[in-house]
Structure formats: structure tokens, C-alpha cells
Amino acid sequence: MSAGTTGPGPFCVMDCSILARTTGLEAQSLRELRDALLAVDPASLYYHFWGGLLRPTFDDPEYMNDFAVWVGRDLRDGQLAERLAMVDPVVHPTLEDLRAELVDLCDDRLDALDGPAWVDRRRRFYFLAADIVVIPTGRSVASPDDLPAALALFSRGAIFYHFVDARRRRDDDRDDLRAWIEDHDGDTYAPVAARLAAVDPFQASLARLRQQVIAAVELGLAEVAR
């Protein structure tokens, strides 16, 4: 049974890395950022929201996406940076919906400014796009009861692939763990699936997210055992 599929078989653990590629689009001002947001490949929106999770460190832990980081650090527009930082991609069913909110925020700020600031060319925002490289680990999980011990061994890439990337990759918006649990024995393990569904994958580092996922599974299994 391959990762990301469902059924009664074992859960096959995959690792991944994210590769950045150029899109040819860049911005030196808020106006240029807004115009590029309208045109850029959706894979770029994915990279600039989710790619930071797999980079060794966040550019700025205060801001969880690259747009907020650049607007705050280089454009020095703290007000817009805060609004961009509050955008949670998890609540958007598609990347196009996410794009629309970003453009709306930029438009609102442009309407309020006398004239948009420009940055030095050396500090331009470069739009990059994400390619996911998937790596089999050879490990599998036989039963949901084995998940806590197995999850403790998940790399950051495995957490990203199965719990973050899966929600965009799958048509049903479930993470791979929840999908496997529900199709493995959804009636018995419904509390585990419900706990996993409540975890927001965008509000923490991958190391912290792994701990949140483990805690959710353990709490769900405790409810199953009652």
C-alpha cells in the first residue's frame, strides 16, 4: 500500500524535500508585489507559505509566510505585514482563494497609501515555486495503535509530506494519517481522526507540529480505550 492511499493495509512512511525553482517574477514595490500575485503560478503561493517549514530556520519566526516577512523587513510596512501574517492558508479551500485574499490585502493597503514605497534592487522579492521530491523510507505502520511510537521517528520531511502537503495533494482535504485511520477502521478510531482533523498544520514549526500530532493521536487512542 503506497503512502497517501487508503485501505486496511499498512501505512507506508514517506519522506520529502522541497526544491525551489524560479518563476521569473519579482517585485520592488507593493504595487509590483500585488501585480505579480495576480499572475504567478499557484505553486509559488504554496512555496512562500509552506516552504519555510522545510527550510532550516524561519526567516522571521514572527511571520509565518514570506510575503509578510518581505513587507515587514524590506518594505518596512508593519501594518500590512501584520495583516499578511494573519493569513491562514488552511482555511482556504484552494490556492486561488488564497491568492484572492492576498491581492485584496494589497489593494486595501495601496488605497490607503499616498504612494507605495520602493526597495533597493538588491532587496527585491523573488517569486519562487515549489517542487516536492518524495523519498520512500521503507518503514510502515501496521495499526493506528502503533502511531505514537512511529510518529516519534518521523523526520520533518515525513511530517510535512503526510500532514501538511497531503491536505493540498488529496482531493478530500484530509491528511494522510487521518485518511488511513478512517479507512483502516473509521468507526473504532473515530476519536483519533477527529483529534487529527483539529490540528492546524500552519501554526507551528514542523518539530512542534510533530509533537501536536503525537499528542492528538495519544488523546484519541485514550478515548478509544475507554
* pLDDT tens-digit readout, 18-28: 889 999 999 99
Count of beta carbons in the 10 Å neighbourhood of residue 156: 18
* Per-residue model confidence (pLDDT) at position 1: 37
Q: Which grid coordinates are listed for 149? A: 511510537
Q: What is the pLDDT of residues 42-72, one digit of tens each?
A: 999 999 998 888 876 544 457 889 999 999 9
Mention every residue, 6+ apart, whose C-beta is less than 8 A from residue 93: 173
Which of 205, 218, 200, 86 minimizes the C-alpha distance to 152? 218
The chain-wide mean pLDDT, for the chain, equals 90
Is position 181 within any domain? yes
What is the Cα–Cα distance from 193 to 73, expressed in whole angstroms? Answer: 39
Q: Which of 103, 129, 155 is the last residue of a domain?
A: 129
Task: Give yes or no for residue 150 having a pLDDT over 50.
Answer: yes
Q: Which of 66, 94, 129 is the last residue of a domain?
A: 129
Q: Which of 72, 106, 129 is the last residue of a domain?
A: 129
Q: What predicted TM-score, i.e. pTM, was given to this entire model?
A: 0.83
Number of structural domains found in the chain: 2
Mention every residue, 6+ apart, whose C-beta is less than 8 A from residue 7: 1, 183, 184
